[in-house]
């Protein structure tokens, strides 16, 4: 079995997960974390959809219940020269195979 991709989180994503745990549903937050570790981190290209809108590239997304998870696969971001657009903290220190979790939104509000 291949090794999972390392996962990093942007501040907005961390804040959203904290809010979700406190105010919405702790079991949903657990489900999201399980999906990240068991599905996305194992094979991000197969498990998720690549966004096509120019303003959203190179993000990927996955539906988890009524929520959408948005993340960046660093390899794609670097290969397509989006690093300055996203300006991830410590980009140069993050491995190319890493995933950066960007945001989590209700599906109705996601786009």
User: How much is the pLDDT for 1?
Assistant: 40
User: How much is the pLDDT for 100?
Assistant: 93
Tokens at 46, concatenated = 């197969």
User: How much is the pLDDT for 62?
Assistant: 93
SS3 27: helix
64 closest CA partner among 99, 20, 14: 20
User: How much is the pLDDT for 106?
Assistant: 87
pLDDT of 103 > 70? The answer is yes
Q: ∠85-74-95 over CA atoms, to 5°?
A: 125
pLDDT in tens, 39-57: 889 888 888 999 888 778 8
Average pLDDT over residues 49-72: 89
Q: What is the CATH number of domain 7-105?
A: 3.30.2310.20
Q: Where are the beta strands (DSSP E) in 2-92?
A: 7-9, 49-50, 59-64, 67-73
pLDDT in tens, 70-90: 999 999 998 888 877 777 778
CA distances 22 to 16, 36, 104, Å, are 10, 20, 15
Sheet with 99-106, edge to edge strand ranges: 7-9, 99-106, 67-73, 59-64, 49-50
User: How much is the pLDDT for 86?
Assistant: 74
User: How high does pLDDT run on average in the chain?
Assistant: 87
User: How much is the pLDDT for 83?
Assistant: 79
pLDDT of 111 > 70? The answer is no
For the chain, the structural domain boundaries read 7-105
């Amino acid at each position: 079995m291949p090794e999972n991709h390392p996962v990093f989180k942007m501040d907005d994503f961390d804040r959203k997960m904290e809010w979700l745990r406190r105010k919405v549903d702790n079991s949903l937050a657990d489900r999201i974390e399980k999906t990240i570790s068991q599905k996305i981190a194992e094979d991000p290209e197969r498990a998720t959809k690549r966004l096509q809108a120019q303003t959203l590239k190179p993000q990927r997304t996955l539906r988890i219940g009524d929520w959408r998870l948005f993340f960046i696969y660093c390899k794609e971001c670097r290969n397509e020269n989006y690093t300055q657009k996203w300006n991830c903290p410590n980009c140069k220190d993050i491995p190319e195979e890493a995933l950066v979790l960007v945001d989590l939104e209700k599906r109705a509000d996601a786009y």
